[in-house]
Amino acid sequence: MSRIGKKAVPVPVGVTVNLSGMDVAVKGPKGQLSFMLTDQVIAKMEAGGVKVDPKDKSKLARSAWGMSRTMIANMIKGVTTGYSKTLEISGVGYRAAVQGKVLQLALGYSHDINYPIPEGIEIKTPKPTEIVVSGIDKQRVGQVAAEIREYRGPEPYKGKGVKYAGEYIFRKEGKKK
């Protein structure tokens, strides 16, 4: 039994959830998202919110049950408050700046990296060494943050590179003479 799947997803004021067949559409103050349920689960509106149940007792249906409920909860949170990830840049001369619809990164290469900002994602640089990626889709925000981090991941000797805020980098000791 899924402990998460048993709970109904509460729908806050100002958010509308539209269930049509296997398609779940959520509309709120920040935008609109949709998700296609698997045919292993059934979603229905109740007084407490959106309730997801498995169609049968098979392992596949039970595994899709909690995931479907979490996807609906993530969409509701996304259209109300949104998601954001903060990246920190450390290293001499490493910096970031937003120029229109392009994020310019100077990460120690012989050239600057121009990252085109995808539709539905907002990138801000409050400081030259800080990048804030935000949007309503949790998966896309995480994917964009991971792509930016991939250009120059943190290295273990000096800790230079792009890392998530609060991420611990395991440091190694250099050569000994």
Contacts (Cβ under 8 Å, ≥6 apart) of 77: 83, 138
Write the pLDDT tens digit of every residue in 18-39. 999 899 999 999 999 999 999 9
The amino acid at 65 = W
pTM of the entire predicted model: 0.89
Distance, C-alpha 71 to centroid of its chain: 12
Contacts (Cβ under 8 Å, ≥6 apart) of 146: none
Write the pLDDT tens digit of every residue in 37-83. 999 999 999 887 999 999 998 889 988 998 999 999 999 999 999 99
- Report how far residue 17's alpha carbon sits from residue 9's, in angstroms, rounded to the nearest whole number: 11
Give the residue from 124, 128, 122, 102 showing the smallest Cα distance to 113. 102
- Report how far residue 102's alpha carbon sits from residue 113's, in angstroms, rounded to the nearest whole number: 10
The count of C-alpha atoms lying within 13 angstroms of the C-alpha of 157, restricted to the half-sphere facing its C-beta, is 2
Confidence class of residue 145 from pLDDT cuts 50, 70 and 90? very high
Q: What domains lie within the chain, and their CATH numbers?
A: 3-80 (3.90.930.12), 83-164 (3.90.930.12)
Task: Please tell me the predicted confidence (pLDDT) of residue 2.
Answer: 63
- Report how far residue 16's alpha carbon sits from residue 63's, in angstroms, rounded to the nearest whole number: 26
Sequence-distant contacts of 14-23: CB under 8 A, at least 24 apart: 14/80, 15/76, 15/79, 15/80, 17/45, 17/50, 17/72, 17/76, 19/43, 19/44, 19/45, 19/50
Give the residue from 92, 96, 86 showing the smallest Cα distance to 151. 96
